[in-house]
Structure 1
Amino acid sequence: MRSIALTNAHLEELKGKTVIVTGAAGGIGGETARTYHSHGSNVVLADLEQMRSFAEAVMASLSEPSRAMFVPVDILDWAQMTSLFRSTKERFGSVDVVVANAGVMESRPVLESNEVDENGDLKEPAEAYKVIDINLKGTLNTLRLALFHMAKNEPKFPDGSRGSVVLVTSTSGYFGGTGVAAYVSSKHGATGLLRASQVAANKVQIRVNGIAPSFTATRLTENFAKAWYEAGFEHNTPHHVAHVIAQMSVDPSRRGACCLVAGRILREMEHSRTDLLSEWLGDELVQFMNNVGGLLAGMGGLPLPKLPALQQEPRRSSRTSMNQASGLRNSGKASM
């Protein structure tokens, strides 16, 4: 298993760069905006309109608020996300780093729920759908727009990269023991997105990495924070996680990597997984998978099917907020 040392190496590269942080009105997102700003970056805080006062409080805490901007945005609304990137470039000239931090956790069990309607039929898990939409579809929207805009940049970093993206997933993107079905599923999806993005990102010289925080003290973890602390487990602060995010975004050796952060314990997950494949799966299966990869690469990628079901107009999801009191859609990253 590969350890990661938390250093300040390469952070000087952030000076003058423009960084978009989603879910930036508090928690990990707010501290991430502060961290980038402290290293000389322009920061764009993206969050729901209802979170404006919190985002403005973050900006007021910055030494040079003129290098910061709040953009109200719903990460599931493509038009709003398009406007976010356009307005960032209009204000600061380019988009150099994007941190896809926005996320949410369900407030009630999904698989164990026996809630029924007036006919006695099991109710549709609408909240779970929203969690998956926000954590996975919202992250996909963010990543797709980041790649599109960064591909037009001149090289921005000494290694020739045109930009850098960090996807904030979770330890739940690798483990599922908590049983929080929608959150765990969506975070596994975000880990899959990290892996699936590498071919496209490398073509346009953009580094895409991930970070998988364990328990981090935010609004979304306050219900069990006391028990966690009393147990004496390793834990994160938003500031600590933000520092790791910044480091991952500028380290030229990181491409397709993901750092699991559990307090003082930092482990690289993706390349460690690759290192262990033969031990895990056996040499024969690893060779088979490598051969398949070579075949598909020679074909220019996986030939995609055209299915009738995919030709239909997509069903539009609700834009209502999950929880007005805590602004669950974009803010206060929960990481478990």
Structure 2
Amino acid sequence: MSEKSLAEKFDFTDDSVVVTGGASGIGRAVCETFAAHDANVTIADVDIDAAETVAATIEEEYDTRALAIETDVSSYDDATEMIETTVDEFGSIDVLVNNAGLSTGTSSFLESTPEDWDRAVGVTYFGTMNCTHAALSHMVDQESGCIINYASDSYKGNDPSLAVYGGAKAGNVAFTKNVAKEVGEHGIRMNVVSPGTTETPATEEWLAEYREKVLESYALNRLGKPQDIANTVAFLASDAAEWITAEVVSVNGGYIRG
């Protein structure tokens, strides 16, 4: 039997893909990229109106199925219900992209509060664990599946103002590497994408003030676009990456600082 062509390795026809935080920014780009490669997509987001808009756009533009589910990933019950609804609707869960994340919104750790930590860690780290736990039983039964989690350059300790967020992202890295080695025997792959500074609605206000300073840290002299990250996610989920697991892939335009 001949080897699949590269195009065939990026064919997600009838695959079921879940993207948390999929209603805007990087998450939306990920949803649309998988839909463009013929996957059925679940957009899981706390903003159900925006998620429904993305779902309608996907179904109209890409002629595939899309499901919007209101989901707070920090709630295990929400995460489980979202995964079960996806499986009921699409028949499987083939790819889970734990895109949802949240910072404390404060300029320093000292200014943050335990309530800030609970919310940021709840979405960014526990959200990853909740959705992964809910999806894995189905993937084990299928003997296949791919999970992509997120870090960021802040997990390396490069952003003092993002101590809690960076800590949660570091947790995602350790979590992914360890669980990947538990489930590999079931044909399940898990990897981490670590984006550099990316232009999204969430970073728009901050970049309006700091863009020129931030650009000094990138060898390619531009910031990331959501599609840059989505392309990497799609690659890691594809058959082209079938021998890659438990790895962290930085997508950061040649970030210069150590």
Give 1:10's aligned residue.
9
Give 2:243's aligned residue.
253
State which drifts further: 240-249 or 35-44.
240-249
- Superposed, 1:256-275 pairs within 5 Å as 256-263=246-253, 265=254
After superposition, give the CA deviation of every residue in 1:85-121 in whole Å (9 maximum; x if it has no partner). Answer: 11111111100000000101111145332x8xxxxxx
Alignment gaps of 5+ in structure 1:
1-6, 116-123, 155-161, 267-336
Give 2:3's aligned residue.
none
Provide the C-alpha distance between the structure 2 equivalents of 1:105 and 1:111, rounded to a whole number of angstroms. Answer: 11
Pairwise CA RMSD of aligned residues?
A: 2.1
Provide the C-alpha distance between the structure 2 equivalents of 1:166 and 1:216, rounded to a whole number of angstroms. Answer: 18
State which drifts further: 60-69 or 76-85.
60-69
TM-superposed CA distance for 1:239, in Å, is 1.4
The letter for the 2-side match of 1:254 is I
SS in 2 for 1:219: coil
TM-superposed CA distance for 1:184, in Å, is 1.1
User: Which structure would you say has the larger Rg?
Assistant: 1
TM-superposed CA distance for 1:179, in Å, is 3.3
Q: TM-score with structure 2 length normalisation?
A: 0.86
The reply to whether residue 61 of structure 1 matches residue 57 of structure 2 is yes
Give 1:120's aligned residue.
none
SS in 2 for 1:98: strand
After superposition, give the CA deviation of every residue in 1:229-260 in whole Å (9 maximum; x if it has no partner). Answer: 43444311111211111101111121111110
Provide the C-alpha distance between the structure 2 equivalents of 1:226 and 1:261, rounded to a whole number of angstroms. Answer: 22
Change in 2 beyond 3 A, CA 1:195/1:90: same
After superposition, give the CA deviation of every residue in 1:38-93 in whole Å (9 maximum; x if it has no partner). Answer: 00000000011xx1221122123222465100011111222222111111111111
The letter for the 1-side match of 2:149 is L
TM-superposed CA distance for 1:198, in Å, is 2.0
The letter for the 1-side match of 2:138 is H
Give 2:171's aligned residue.
189
TM-superposed CA distance for 1:25, in Å, is 0.8
Provide the C-alpha distance between the structure 2 equivalents of 1:223 and 1:86, rounded to a whole number of angstroms. Answer: 36
Change in 2 beyond 3 A, CA 1:152/1:186: same
TM-superposed CA distance for 1:213, in Å, is 0.1
The reply to whether residue 103 of structure 1 matches residue 85 of structure 2 is no
After superposition, give the CA deviation of every residue in 1:239-282 in whole Å (9 maximum; x if it has no partner). Answer: 1211111101111121111110013x49xxxxxxxxxxxxxxxx
Provide the C-alpha distance between the structure 2 equivalents of 1:33 and 1:16, rounded to a whole number of angstroms. Answer: 14
2:25, 2:202 within 8 Å by CA — same for their partners in 1? no
1:8, 1:247 within 8 Å by CA — same for their partners in 2? no
Change in 2 beyond 3 A, CA 1:8/1:223: farther
More helix by share: 2
SS in 1 for 2:205: coil
Give 1:70's aligned residue.
68
Change in 2 beyond 3 A, CA 1:47/1:247: same
The letter for the 2-side match of 1:127 is D
Provide the C-alpha distance between the structure 2 equivalents of 1:111 and 1:241, rounded to a whole number of angstroms. Answer: 28
The reply to whether residue 240 of structure 1 matches residue 228 of structure 2 is yes
Residue number among 165, 176, 193 corresponding to 2:158 in the alignment: 176
The letter for the 2-side match of 1:59 is A
Provide the C-alpha distance between the structure 2 equivalents of 1:57 and 1:65, rounded to a whole number of angstroms. Answer: 15
Give 2:200's aligned residue.
218
The letter for the 1-side match of 2:49 is S
Provide the C-alpha distance between the structure 2 equivalents of 1:222 and 1:131, rounded to a whole number of angstroms. Answer: 19
SS in 2 for 1:179: helix
TM-superposed CA distance for 1:126, in Å, is 1.1
Name the structure, 1 or 2, with higher relative contact order (CA <8 Å, separation 6+). 1
SS in 1 for 2:251: strand
